[in-house]
Amino acid sequence: MTATLLLRLLERVHGHLGWLSVGALLHPAILLRQRRRRARLSVSLATGLVAVTALLGAYIYPSYRDRIKQHLFIEAPKLGWMFERKEHLAVGAVAFALVGWVSHFALPLVAGGGGEQSLARLAHWAFVLAFAFALVAAVLGVSVASYRSF
């Protein structure tokens, strides 16, 4: 398999994992509206998917810069700037998913105090934000990938 083929494969895997992450993040974003609800599996799967997607994206990002970025900005600068937006929002999605995961798993540790309510609300909104950012990032990613690929 040539390097280009491998990059193309990884790019598609990254894209599919990204959309899976969006779906997975929606689940805790809905479930955790109920403050007493515990959804450790859902929370872990969603956060894990987001993390794997981000790591894969970071792995192929240097190749994107080498092979695609300049051409994209020459041929379709609007799409180039869309990809830049995608990067920033993806950073937010990963960070907020991690916040949600830590907050949700920490709930038993703060049980009995007023902190439980605060952490439960934090976990819910962290996943809502992560979902929103991941969704926009996925849409922008598809827009760019459908125009130009490795």
Q: How many C-beta atoms surround the C-beta of residue 100 within 10 A?
A: 28
Question: Of residues 39, 60, 119, 144, which one binds other proteins by CB under 8 A?
Answer: 119
The C-alpha atoms of residue 17 and residue 95 are separated, in whole angstroms, by: 17
Question: Of residues 1, 2, 36, 62, which one binds other proteins by CB under 8 A?
Answer: 62
DSSP class of residue 96? H
Q: How many C-beta atoms surround the C-beta of residue 86 within 10 A?
A: 22
Structure-token match 């819910």, residue found: 124
Question: According to the binding rule CB under 8 A, does residue 89 interact with other proteins?
Answer: yes
List of residues contacting other proteins (CB under 8 A): 58, 61-62, 65-66, 69-70, 73-74, 77, 80-82, 84-85, 87-89, 91-92, 95-96, 98-99, 102-103, 106, 109-115, 118-119, 121-122, 125-126, 129, 133
